[in-house]
Chain A
Amino acid sequence: MVTFLAILFAGALFAGFIGSLTGLGGGVVIVPLLTIGFGIDIRYAIGTSLISVIATSSGAASAYVKEGILNIRIGMFLEIATTLGAIAGAAIALFAPTHAIAVVFGFVLLYSAISSFLKRKEDRDEENLPEKKTTRIIEILKAKGTYPTANGLKKYTLEHLGGGFSVMGLAGMLSGLLGIGSGALKVIAMDSIMKIPFKVSTSTSNFMIGVTAAASAGVYLNRGYIDPVLSMPVMVGVLIGSLVGAKFLIKSQTKSIRLVFAIVITLLALEMIYNGLAKNI
């Protein structure tokens, strides 16, 4: 058992490292690692993964929350959607067949691996956004803000609140169903749909991941999906791995390393889909 947990710890270290280097988060690598690598039931894997998602996102959020880029109010408003979605996703996971969950997981993983590598989106920060007409609902929700750029504070106003709110609900649902942070989808909802500046979107998204994951983790905890012995090496491993990954990210921005990991994640995704379809999971 000690050997098993030691190998699991090493795997979690690596998962946390890849997760923070690719920006996908530790969760998307933990579930395939536990199911395909260790033959662990996907329900234990999802519960364990959620724990590591909360640990890494809260740890990371504590560092950049002080920078003042994220928008606490907008985050809180959208957390209504993500937490409701997360509980719904966790509830679906309680009844859905595990091989179906594995297939959905594979496709989400495939999509995020490809999009994380292809679209390295440039910042629109320096662009001068035209003054937009504000509606009553935007006034009530204070759905606007400022953020620091090289040219001083820039203002922004949100658009398409309804659409963004719905996509956030979907992001929450995937998070609850699959035990991942689904940060990529949260950023799409904020950046592409609600037109929140990219930097504000990424940091606010990261900030929301912990609360979203806590909503589904509560359901999983109550249903007995979260095992202490399994979670121990994974949580500590992912936490340390992602801290090292964040340091490493600052030092080297080598594209080749990112490509290698994108390929590794793509292979994991295909493996998940195959095993799901073959009903091995």
Chain B
Amino acid sequence: MTRNDQPWNDARMRDLMGTLLRVGVLASAILVVLGGILFFIQHPHDIFDYSIFKGEPARFRQVHLIVKEALNFRGRDIIQLGLLVLIATPVARVIFSLIGFLIEKDWVYVAITAIVLCILSLSMFSNYL
């Protein structure tokens, strides 16, 4: 009996969760490295000063702008998309748990997971409030 034939249970949920986390981190790392290479090609002589905090421009801050700007294939925008994928990976894990608890009809934990998801969304989109 292969894994896929097993009924839905906590063990199956954990297996898929492990894969989800690995794919998320890997995808993010690939984007970050690719973006880094592009950045070195596009801006070989740029120098940044981080000793005084200035804050990032909107295109590195807001979720929808990060996604939009990444389509222009500029190095730093690709890196920032990679970082967004990384931050979204644990969030995706929570969404995945929510689906799992729904399938198990574990309503108490559907509610608990929904609360965690709300708190995470509040944080991710705090700029839009």
Do A and B associate with each other?
Answer: yes
Please list the residues of chain A having a beta carbon within 8 angstroms of any beta carbon in chain B: 1-2, 38-41, 43-44, 51, 54-55, 58-59, 61-63, 65-66, 68, 72-73, 76-77, 79-80, 83-84, 86-87, 90, 140-142, 210-211, 213-219, 221-233, 235-236, 239
- B18 engages A65 (CB within 8 Å): yes
Contact between A225 and B19, CB atoms less than 8 A apart: no
| B15 close to A211 (CB less than 8 A) | no
Q: Report yes or no: A211 in contact with B116, Cβ–Cβ below 8 A.
A: yes
Task: Evaluate contact between B56 and A226: CB separation under 8 angstroms.
Answer: yes
Q: Which residues of B contact A210 (CB under 8 A)?
A: 21, 89-90, 93
The answer to whether A231 touches B19 (Cβ under 8 A) is no
B90–A80 CB distance below 8 A: no
The answer to whether B14 has its CB under 8 Å from any CB of chain A is yes
Q: Does B72 contact A (CB under 8 A)?
A: no
Task: Tell me whether B120 and A214 are in contact (CB under 8 A).
Answer: yes
A84 to B87, CA, bound (A): 16
Instruction: Give the nearest-CB partner of B26 in chain A.
Output: A59
Contacts of A215 in B (CB 8 A): 119-120, 123
* B50 close to A84 (CB less than 8 A): no
Distance between B57 CB and nearest chain A CB, rounded to angstroms: 7
Looking at A140, A218, A231, which has the most chain B CB atoms within 10 Å of its CB? A218
16 A-B pairs in the complex with CB atoms less than 8 angstroms apart: A54-B87, A58-B90, A61-B18, A72-B13, A83-B123, A140-B108, A210-B89, A214-B120, A218-B124, A221-B124, A226-B83, A228-B77, A231-B32, A232-B39, A235-B29, A236-B29
The answer to whether A231 and B97 touch (CB under 8 A), given A141-B108, A142-B108, is no
Secondary structure at the B interface, as helix, strand, loop or mixed, is: helix
Select one of B46, B51, B127 contacting A222, CB under 8 A. Answer: B127
For the complex with contacts A83-B123, A219-B126, A221-B83, 6 further pairs of A-B residues with Cβ separation under 8 Å are A54-B89, A55-B28, A76-B97, A210-B93, A214-B120, A227-B60
* Distance of A21 from chain B, by nearest CB (Å): 20
A232 surroundings in chain B (CB, below 8 A)? 32-33, 35-36, 39, 79
What's the count of A-B pairs with C-beta under 8 Å? 185
Interface size on B, residues (CB 8 A): 66
Bound CA–CA A124/B108 (angstroms): 30
- Cα A276 to Cα B89 in complex, Å, equals 34
Could you say which residues of chain B place their CB within 8 Å of the CB of A43?
53
Interface string of B34-63 (1 = CB under 8 A from A): 011001100011111011110111001111
- Option from A55, A217, A222 in Cβ contact (under 8 Å) with B25: A55
Q: How far is the CB of A140 from chain B (nearest CB, A)?
A: 6
Given the interface pairs A62-B21, A214-B87, A221-B84, the reply to whether A229 lies near B48 with Cβ below 8 Å is yes
Q: Do A68 and B11 touch (CB < 8 A)?
A: yes
> In whole angstroms, what is the CA distance A83 to B90 when docked?
12
Please indicate the chain A residues that have their CB under 8 angstroms from the CB of B91 in the complex.
211, 214
Collect the chain B residues with CB atoms within 8 Å of residue A87's CB.
119, 122-123
Binary contact track B70-103/A, C-beta < 8 Å → 1, others 0 = 0000001101100110111111011001000000
Asked if B113 contacts A76 (CB within 8 A), the reply is yes
Nearest-Cβ distance from residue B33 to partner chain A, whole angstroms: 6
Nearest 8 A-B pairs (CB), nearest first?
A218-B123, A224-B55, A224-B56, A62-B21, A228-B79, A210-B90, A222-B127, A62-B22
Q: Which of B20, B51, B83, B123 contacts A216 (CB 8 A)?
A: B123
Q: Is the CB of B48 within 8 A of A214?
A: no
- Flag if A211 contacts B93 (CB, 8 Å): yes
Q: A55-B28, A65-B17, A214-B90 are in contact. Are A219 and B123 (CB under 8 A)?
A: yes
Set of chain A residues within 8 Å of B120, measured between Cβ atoms: 83, 211, 214-215, 218
